[in-house]
Structure 1
Amino acid sequence: MTSALWPLQTALYAKLTGHGPLMALVSGVYDEVPEQAAHPYVSFGSITETADDAHNQRGLEVAVVLHVWSKYRGFREAAAVLTALDVALDRQPLTVTGYRDVSIAHTQHTEVRDPDPDIRHVNVSYRVWLTRI
């Protein structure tokens, strides 16, 4: 199985940072969050790949977790960022180098009260299906 990890993360990053409505809400989209990053922001979490071959085609089913971080009291701001993430990604075209038949769908999200009472956190899960070229 050839990993789509980096090509997929690169494609997601480009899609998110190129989406004006999302970027109007957040200070950035990060793989490694800078120490002084301003809230709200989005960060990459885990990416889990599972082989999803069909006959003579190599494919992958990938679970992607993104994190929304906010210091707004309550979840209103994080919910707005979540909505913008979905507008950018859920069932939208995504070009991933080395792959075709790429589709992406929002599968779930979870609001989390961080141990720091000033921080709100939403875990957002997407499922991505890809066929290797």
Structure 2
Amino acid sequence: MADPSLALQGVVYNRLKVDCPSVANRVYDRPPQDVAFPYIGLGEVQIVDDSADCIDGVEAFITLHVWSRAVGQVEAKRIASEVHSSLHGAELDLGPAWYFHLIEHRSTNYLADPDGVTTHAVITFRALIGAR
């Protein structure tokens, strides 16, 4: 059985590139060394078995990171809102191996980076995925 986080990561990456104009297509699995701000980074994924007697499934938690160097938190909050609008309640096609049930926003945390310049938003979503 393939890893469902790979399918989820690909779909989330493609949606954010289209649905988040504030980052101008700057969505990265691993940002380049000379990255331009603002941008979205794909973060941690946790897969938890959610199988039952009659279905193989997983609960996936995916974390996204928004990075901004604009003064204050306004830009980071605007981008986080775009991420929320793009993914919360979306219908996702995970391909032939996985049946998508739902994706929902779980939390957003806004942090001042220790560099004194960067604002960091940490956004977590929960997805339910079944094996076909």
TM-score interval w.r.t. the shorter chain? over 0.9
Q: Which runs of 4+ in 1 moved over 4 A?
A: none
2:93 alignment partner, SS class: coil
Name the amino acid aligned to 1:9.
Q
Give the superposed CA RMSD. 1.2
Per-residue CA distance 1:16-72 (angstroms, 9 max, x = gap): 1122xx1x2004100010111111100011000000012221100011100000001
* TM-score normalized with structure 2 length: 0.93
Name structure 2 gaps, 5 residues minimum.
Answer: none
Q: Percent identity?
A: 27
User: 2:52 maps to which residue?
Assistant: 54
Q: CA deviation at 1:14?
A: 1.3
2:23 alignment partner, SS class: coil
1:44 alignment partner, SS class: strand
User: 1:125 maps to which residue?
Assistant: 124
2:128 alignment partner, SS class: strand
Work out the CA distance in 1 between the residues paired with 2:13 and 2:52: 28
* TM-score normalized with structure 1 length: 0.93
Name structure 1 gaps, 5 residues minimum.
Answer: none
Work out the CA distance in 2 between the residues paired with 1:39 and 1:18: 17
Work out the CA distance in 2 between the residues paired with 1:132 and 1:16: 24
Q: CA deviation at 1:101?
A: 3.4
